[in-house]
Amino acid sequence: MLELKNIYFTIPESEEREGGRRNIINGIDYVFEKGKFYAITGPNGSGKTTLAKLIMGIYPLSQGTILFKGQDISPLSITERAKAGIAYSFQQPARFKGITFRDLLTIATGVDDERKLLEILGRVGICPLSFLDKEVDARLSGGEIKKIELATTIAANPALAIYDEPDTGIDLWTIGPMVSLLKKELAERQTTTIVVSHNRAFLEAADVVMIINSGRIVYDGNLEGAMPLLDDLSVCTYRDSCEGERDAGCYR
């Protein structure tokens, strides 16, 4: 349902290496199947979030093509991709002055009927009713805003839902219900689900674990098969520059 064809995202290299260019996403080909749960993981800076943002159209492709339900969506704007059925949950959600959770739900669903909004809240489950008229501003805690972010994504009934680190700021007791909720949406609506995460709960829930490193897919398959590689990647790659203890146990 989603096909990435030889996609690249290239940026100018940092100032010290003048004139150079660097591929953040370095030639990815992949086919995501309808109704499956994908977990994308990999070290910091490997390109996971960039890949997710290329799919949503937040970053422009430097090269390659993205097909969604057979249609080339590469030239489409964020708005057009949203209307085509892709939803995106941000790692660090925007905060607004004067816009409430209710407003965001209404924008996402076109529903402003109180009873229907309450139904949606019931379905999403992890947001208390008291959230509905809260402003989505700087007063919300990190966990509260992430729940709201997840809820607006689910409420839009997307064919493809992308979640960038949905567990950031979420307490341990909510991660389990959050995983169950995504699985339930997938089972009931065949929502193709992509979660970028380091959290084992999401990796275990996924049908397919993908590991990204240096802008390429270095593994896709079940979690068991991914484990040796994940252990390898957890070894510090910064020791040369950090000049710390030989093994300080710092999993960067």
- Residues interacting with other proteins, by CB under 8 A? 56, 58, 77-79, 82-83, 87-88, 90, 92-99, 103-104, 107-108, 152, 156
CB of 137 to other proteins, least distance (A): 10
Phi, psi for residue 133 in degrees, rounded to 5: -105, 20
106 vs 237, beta carbon nearer other proteins: 106
Q: What angle (nearest 5°) sits at the alpha carbon of residue 184, between those of residues 202 and 176?
A: 40
CB of 117 to other proteins, least distance (A): 15
CB of 56 to other proteins, least distance (A): 6
Q: What angle (nearest 5°) sits at the alpha carbon of residue 249, between those of residues 247 and 250?
A: 105
CB of 35 to other proteins, least distance (A): 22
131 vs 219, beta carbon nearer other proteins: 131
Length of the chain: 252
79 vs 241, beta carbon nearer other proteins: 79
CB of 55 to other proteins, least distance (A): 11
Q: Are 55 and 49 a contacting pair, CB within 8 Å?
A: no
97 vs 115, beta carbon nearer other proteins: 97
CB of 7 to other proteins, least distance (A): 19
82 vs 236, beta carbon nearer other proteins: 82
76 vs 236, beta carbon nearer other proteins: 76
